[in-house]
Amino acid sequence: MFLTRVSAVVEIACRNDLKRMRVPILGAFLVCLIVLTIGSCSAKADDGYNLWLRYRPVENADLLQSYRAVLSSIVVADTSDTAIIVEKELQRGLGSLLQTQIPVGSLPPSANSLVVGTPQALPAPVLDDVLQMLRTVGREGFVIVSKRGEQPPFILIAANTPIGTLYGSFHFLRILQEGQTLNNLKIVSTPRLQYRMLNHWDNLDGSVERGYAGRSLWKWDELPATIDQRYHDYARANASIGINGTVLNNVNANPELLLPNYLKKVAALADVFRPYGIRVFLSANFSSPLSAQFDVEKNRCGGIGELDTSDPLDPRVREWWKRKVREIYALIPDFGGFLVKANSEGMPGPQEYGRSHADGANMLAEALAPYGGIVMWRAFVYDPEVDLDRTKRAYKEFVPLDGRFLPNVFVQVKNGPLDFQPREPVSPLFGAMPKTPLMLELQITQEYLGHSTHLVYLASMWKEYLDFDLHAKGVGSTLARVVDGSLHGHSMTGIAGVANTGSDREWTGHLFAQANWYAFGRLAWDHTLSAEQIASEWIGMTFGFHPTILSTVSSMMLGAWEACVNYMTPLGLHHIMQEHVHYGPEPSLAKGREDWTSVYYHRADKEGIGYNRSSSGSNAVSQYHPPLRELFDDVSTCPEKYLLWFHRVPWTHRMSSGRTLWEEMNYRYYAGTQYVSRMQDHWRSLQPLIAAELFEHVNAKLKQHYHDAIIWRDTCLTYFQKFSGLPIIPLP
């Protein structure tokens, strides 16, 4: 092990250009060799693979001594597969944090033990007053208490299930990483959402739609015989933040994944994920029951079945899905269910047979119900025959179906009414379907936010959405309350994030994109957490809790999303990007389908700019409840961050800053790029405190980020200037 570490140091040193270090190669090797022997080489290679689970040694001597004093042994009172993972994780984490091996003990606990277990495995004297708390945390929550008054004293992590103890153990390790006191612990934590999902848009050929971190994690050609260690590490990372479900494949689903040979591969992954509390789900292609014969008229292949129809009201089709579901559960007893994209972007669906979304979803829900499975039916639809304004179509298609879905059906709705734009108002659908459980769909992968090149911390965006008040039942009807079921009394609740993981060594293509994966999980568990708190946790566990690192990196992250909005689509502009790739700016795009072009959305001419969705335009404002309807409808009261989303405004319109609209656009575009420039400066100031490999990785990303942000700014301002006829005004 030691020689392996030394070899790694030499390799890193060579890559980092030793001439710059102004020390001979042999001298550099010997210095690192000596430092490694005492276990504290600051230049130790860190390629980002370990995510937020690095478990850096506690540096404060007094704190380290206090932790060691109360953590003399680990007692895991269970023998399940999950309990084995708990024990290994605690040994790994505590051993690294406390720089000493913590022995495994047994019941009854000795003095200063860390005891972990469920009521079924722990003796009554260990639990006593904790039982009442456990009644409030459900099957996934946990309790952490300091039993200092006991003889002998110990710390207890208790839960109703082994999975709860795993979540509690990760939380306890987070407490130590943050340097919190262990005196008088009394933590009661339960997830606010039942289903906390990652949606992978991975294809069977190994590609990833909207993936910017390499190829798919799933090696279908090797499964089920070969189980990559990365599958375990993926599950471990998700369990550490409470994610409990994963959809393995793209919503643009290939029916072949439901064939027996692929289902055996899925089952192998499910076996890996199960002890970590993660259930496997699949995206289902609605035409799967069809025969594989090519359909010339519709220009697509059929399914994997033998039928001539996939009409959801046809008894043969319903029976086909029941047989397929029975086959799946024989292999995967805890299979979660299906995610479905139907009648959207060319994907087949029930409307091809004159049936509704509810008809299609209910057919699948009926097949899954006996096994406890669910359907997540996406509301991402935009048939131009429904309405000329694409942002109105999901509302118009789904609101009439409220109350017609079976109880095990979610309607899965994107955060905004268009398509994961840098900023949108909340989708009005969330305020209009009180009888239907709605699953919020967020996008962790940065499809429209600079892919894995731009540093954009998305928790800031997600908090703006979660705190958005839809006024569906008066003041306080936030999106968070719609999604967590408290507003309308739904017991089935959930949230989904389109994953940003891939085969790249650091998982997400950009080290800081790991923060978005982490933040999604933390908010899925508890949406009341602040973006600031989550950032602080991630920064400390990734780079260390040095005050300068915490303050500097936090200042970079917390304003990054607003900066991105400013240099891409300020003041409510949207959909100004290169077609297909969705990366760079293309405000002049005027080819293709009318409602997919940038000019369709910004509508710039010499008179002004913006899409009129007020009552005098498309009347999209009517889909919101009062007082939002009136607020958005009036150009004088519409929040300026949504101004050009809802209104067409003259270039000379006076803004709240006193600037004209054109001047404000200039200000926002330049402010956005200036923020990225400051992020570069902040990051460079941290070079002595950051591991060399991580520093160079982020530094190179920020350099490209700044370059691309300037292209966004200059391209858009130059294009819009052709219409405004006014000078571009750089910031000093």
CB 377 within 8 A of CB 363: no
Does some domain include residue 532?
A: no
- Total Cβ atoms within 10 A of residue 348: 24
Active site residues: 345, 419, 447
Of 189, 214, 237, the one marking the end of a domain is 189
CA-CA-CA-CA dihedral for 215, 221, 222, 228, to nearest 10: 20
H helix or E strand, kind and range, residue 439: strand 438-443
Does some domain include residue 558?
A: no
Instruction: Name the residue among 467, 511, 448 with its Cα closest to residue 700.
Output: 511
List residues bridging with 605 in a β-sheet. Answer: 608
CATH label of the domain that carries residue 226: 3.20.20.80
Bond preceding residue 152 cis, omega within 30 of 0: yes
Task: Tell whether 86 and 224 lie within a shared domain.
Answer: no
Of 173, 189, 205, the one marking the end of a domain is 189
Tell me the CB-side half-sphere exposure of residue 574, using CA atoms within 13 A: 25
C-alpha 53/C-alpha 123 separation (Å) is: 32
603's tokens? 């509508």
369's tokens? 């119900």
List residues bridging with 700 in a β-sheet. Answer: none
Write the CA distances from 513 to 1, 443, 609, integer angstroms: 30, 12, 33
Does some domain include residue 554?
A: no
- Total Cβ atoms within 10 A of residue 459: 26
Task: Tell whether 166 and 215 lie within a shared domain.
Answer: no
Q: Positive or negative CA dihedral for 713, 718, 724, 729?
A: positive
C-alpha 591/C-alpha 665 separation (Å) is: 26
Does some domain include residue 104?
A: yes
**Does the global pTM surpass 0.85?**
yes
Does some domain include residue 483?
A: yes
Task: Tell whether 199 and 164 lie within a shared domain.
Answer: no
Task: Tell whether 274 and 185 lie within a shared domain.
Answer: no
The residue type of 440 is: L
Radius of gyration from C-alpha coordinates of the chain:
27
Does some domain include residue 48?
A: no
Does some domain include residue 656?
A: yes
Task: Tell whether 664 and 711 lie within a shared domain.
Answer: yes
Task: Tell whether 211 and 81 lie within a shared domain.
Answer: no
C-alpha 498/C-alpha 341 separation (Å) is: 14
76's tokens? 């895991």
Task: Tell whether 211 and 314 lie within a shared domain.
Answer: yes
pLDDT given at position 36: 33
C-alpha 3/C-alpha 32 separation (Å) is: 12
Q: Is 681 helix (H, G, I), strand (E, B) or coil?
A: helix
CB 254 within 8 A of CB 205: no
Q: Is 375 helix (H, G, I), strand (E, B) or coil?
A: strand
C-alpha 362/C-alpha 385 separation (Å) is: 25
- Environment class of residue 101 by beta-carbon count within 10 Å: exposed (0-12), middle (13-18) or buried (19+)? exposed
CA 591 to chain centre: 33
Q: For residue 577, what are the domain limits?
A: 564-611+648-724
pLDDT given at position 150: 74
C-alpha 406/C-alpha 492 separation (Å) is: 12
C-alpha 212/C-alpha 452 separation (Å) is: 6
Does some domain include residue 620?
A: no
Which residues make Cβ contacts (< 8 Å) with residue 323, sequence separation at least 6? none
Of 136, 157, 189, the one marking the end of a domain is 189
Q: Positive or negative CA dihedral for 68, 69, 72, 74?
A: negative
Stretches where the chain sits below pLDDT 50 are: 1-43, 294, 296, 299
The residue type of 170 is: F
Instruction: Name the residue among 137, 369, 374, 362 with its Cα closest to residue 245.
Output: 374
C-alpha 518/C-alpha 540 separation (Å) is: 13
CATH label of the domain that carries residue 718: 3.90.1330.10
DSSP label of 22: T
DSSP label of 494: E
CB 241 within 8 A of CB 521: yes
Task: Tell whether 681 and 695 lie within a shared domain.
Answer: yes
CATH label of the domain that carries residue 84: 3.30.379.10
Which residues make Cβ contacts (< 8 Å) with residue 457, sequence separation at least 6? 512, 515, 516, 519, 531, 535, 557, 558, 560, 561
Tell me the CB-side half-sphere exposure of residue 74, using CA atoms within 13 A: 23
Total domains, the chain: 4
Write the CA distances from 194 to 216, 242, 495, 559, integer angstroms: 27, 10, 8, 31
H helix or E strand, kind and range, residue 147: strand 142-147
With vertex at residue 699, the alpha carbon angle to CA 698 and CA 700, rounded to the nearest 5 degrees, is 90
C-alpha 530/C-alpha 637 separation (Å) is: 27
Task: Tell whether 235 and 179 lie within a shared domain.
Answer: no
List residues bridging with 147 in a β-sheet. Answer: 154
Which residues make Cβ contacts (< 8 Å) with residue 333, sequence separation at least 6? none
Task: Tell whether 475 and 360 lie within a shared domain.
Answer: yes
Alpha helices in 484-587 (DSSP H): 513-525, 531-543, 547-558, 560-568
495's tokens? 């949230």
Task: Tell whether 249 and 119 lie within a shared domain.
Answer: no
pLDDT given at position 400: 98
H helix or E strand, kind and range, residue 177: helix 162-177
- Total Cβ atoms within 10 A of residue 546: 16
- Environment class of residue 120 by beta-carbon count within 10 Å: exposed (0-12), middle (13-18) or buried (19+)? exposed
Task: Tell whether 224 and 365 lie within a shared domain.
Answer: yes
